[in-house]
Amino acid sequence: MLLPQRFHAKVEVRWSDMDVFQHVNHARMVTLLEEARIPWLFEDGRPTASLREGCVLADLRVRYRGQLRHEDTPLDIAMWIEQVRAVDFTVGYEVRANGAAPDSAPAVIASTQIAAFDIQTQRLRRLSDVERAYLAEWMDK
């Protein structure tokens, strides 16, 4: 089976990410998702690195299908682009425990809508052609 193109990030679960029920806390999961997308979208050399200068999270959805615990570290967070529009794009996520098969059911399914933002004018800005082209490479064909 040919799986769609995904960017995979390995993200370490910290002891402080756990809650009293001994699984990753919801607020911490949102932070882990953020940590996963940084090397994919914001590091030097990426066509989308300019988004470091300004972008805002417009929407966040997280669905839990299973628990993740400290011993599941590092988490495998697969990401892709679900949609690209003039000023924003939506990132899809699947989170699996370390060592889980890529085609196994993810423990967490999430999405974030991210909008390009001009800090100086305090307004949304259009994505550049270069940003849009890079993001489009990660869409399911």
HEC states along the chain? CCCCCCEEEEECCCHHHECCCCCECHHHHHHHHHHHHHHHHCCCCCCCHHHHHCEEEEEEEEEECCCCCHHHCCEEEEEEEEEECCCEEEEEEEEECCCCCCCCCCCEEEEEEEEEEECCCCEECCCCHHHHHHHHHCECC
What tens digit of pLDDT does each residue of 53-81 get? 999 999 999 999 999 999 999 999 999 99
Residue 3 has pLDDT above 70, yes or no: no
Handedness of CA 68, 96, 65, 78 (dihedral sign): positive
What tens digit of pLDDT does each residue of 94-117 get? 999 999 998 899 999 999 999 999
pTM of the entire structure? Answer: 0.94
- Do residues 134 and 46 make contact, with C-beta atoms less than 8 angstroms apart? yes
Find the mean pLDDT for residues 14-33: 94
